[in-house]
Chains A and B, each alone.
Chain A
């Protein structure tokens, strides 16, 4: 029986509690089922139950859940969890696995093509290597070169790799040595990593240092250099959000860190002081306080919601526009700048987004009124936002007093580790991990701190997956 009419009836009867989208639902589930695969480094997505959240519409699983909820009394969180339990044994998508088992395994209770594994594939072969038995070293060797050196190995390199029938352990070590060489190559530093960084930095040449239109706003090459520096040579990837330094290119091409404020050198049609890095070290938070990041995202907004949303999307993997990572703060949004965001259809996301953004209000976007583009001005929110009342920022349920604290809190989250791991994984496979890769995927990113927070560690593990040598 279709449950659509039930939902329509509930809305018509004004039964708002079960018949509306509730942005706290993902947090409620992940608090109760912290070990669930669906919560591993992530918050459950609204799309688990909804097709849209305003007006609220539900997928088949969501309707089944709601039908159960209307029969229960109590607080929303208790009712939701009870309904999840009550419908847990049911199999909404008919793939043989119960709804709750699918949530726990992150296989989506509404997707009949994805179901939990009975057990994980064997990843340690009979030779003692962490590889599938059928792993093809020669194919893997070629793929390593294309992906991380930017070209195939030469005929002679391949012959040396094949050698005199080397043993699997010898090939295994030769493969990882080849990967290390490629990860130290100019290609990886100056082409491979920058293409990963594009979606984080979002350059626009018209407003960059190379602008041919006289509209230079900031120099995004600082951002690219910082990203490549941090992501190479086993450096700590947390510096993406914690670095209080910048990175310059030495004459011999190597990237080298430099300290302090960088004076601007570019002219601009608007007279901004651009091209340097104006934020002093105590207020720096890596990639999210560069002049380009602040100029391009904040522009002239008093409350930099886009800036906060991009930081949340780029470094924690939560796209608020896709209703990911919603963790509403009680009493929010207060609509501090009278934009109407307290309306119900807006509040769904702004109850998370606005508290994310408050801390960023202390940083200028494009420089006006004597401010330098991307500079740090603690009085800025009070000067620009009439309703400002030292509104406290919050990230994933914890208060943060500044962008620096925002960043320090962010790098402690599983979402940060998960996001970096996903970036490196997607570069190779151009997809998300499959159901049978999920266990190993989660195991590897969780171990990132034990391996020096190195991006190279992640890449070495990803090439050992069966798919790489298949």
Chain B
């Protein structure tokens, strides 16, 4: 996925109606400003808090490098935050950089994996992946669909359409995809949609 392409693709230059647009005797204003506002980049704080909220994770469980350094600190500039205190960068980057999709994938994948591992370790106290047996070697289609619907509600805060459920649940259709792999991939797929990453 290319962030820049998304941003550029959705950017529509708005130009107001000009003096020579109005015909003689024109009385009504019909400004040519119908172009939609470009979607905004959901930057570090909102992205990490939406992930924490959706997956019921504390900030230190979201993603760490070498088990020590939080990804949200290490990659804060690429994730759209500023760094005023240590590096006197008072303004965040105006647009995602080439690293932004990489570190976003890293953050989301780690968060999804973290939630799957926790729910698999304590099935009786599972928070998110409650529709499937995470220790199983495969997932029943109906269970996969139910889990996808639950993930849509948690991550995108809405009901999934039938088509959306079908597409994500298809990840479980392969024989070599275990339940925990399906869970991680389904979570990752939904949490890296433009709908979740932009607003």
Contacts and interface: CB of A to CB of B under 8 A. Distances in A.
B158 A158 contact: yes
Main secondary structure of the interface of A (DSSP, over half): loop
Please classify the interface of chain B as helix (H, G, I), strand (E, B), loop, or mixed, using the class held by over half of its residues. loop
B37 A436 contact: no
Given A115-B16, A117-B17, A150 B45 contact: yes
Interface in A93-134: 95-97, 101, 113-122, 134
A23 interface: no
Contact of A146 (B17, B22, B42, B85): B42
Nearest to B42: A146
A181 interface: no
A204 B15 contact: no
Interface residues of A, number: 45
A155 B158 contact: yes
Contacts of A122: 29
Given A142-B199, A155-B154, A205-B86, A430 B19 contact: no
A151 interface: yes
Nearest to B33: A436
A167 interface: no
Contact of B16 (A158, A436, A470): A436
A261 B23 CA distance: 66
B20 A96 contact: yes
B29 A470 contact: no
A134 B36 CA distance: 10
A143 interface: yes
Of B19, B36, B82, B88, chain A has the most CB atoms within 10 Å of the CB of B19
Contact of A120 (B18, B29, B153): B29
B94 A150 contact: no
B91 interface: yes
A363 to B, nearest CB: 23
Interface of B: 13-22, 26, 29, 31, 33-34, 36-37, 40, 42, 45-46, 49-50, 53, 82, 84-86, 88, 90-91, 94, 153-154, 157-158, 199
A117 B42 CA distance: 32
B19 A151 contact: no
A118 B26 contact: yes
A158 B157 contact: yes
Interface stretch (A171-179, A195-203, A233-241): A195-203
Interface in A139-187: 142-143, 146, 150-155, 158, 187
A116 B46 contact: no
9 contacts: A113-B13, A119-B17, A119-B29, A151-B50, A152-B46, A155-B158, A187-B45, A429-B37, A466-B37
A2 interface: no
A191 B45 contact: yes
Given A150-B49, A205-B85, A96 B18 contact: yes
B157 A115 contact: no
Nearest to A200: B90
Nearest to A157: B157
Contacts of A227: none
Contacts of A435: 15-16
A222 interface: no
A226 B107 CA distance: 34
B36 A204 contact: no
A467 interface: yes
A425 interface: no
A470 B15 contact: no
A150 B33 CA distance: 29
B31 A119 contact: yes
A312 interface: no
Contact of B88 (A114, A134, A142, A202): A202
A468 interface: yes
A468 B37 contact: yes
A412 interface: no
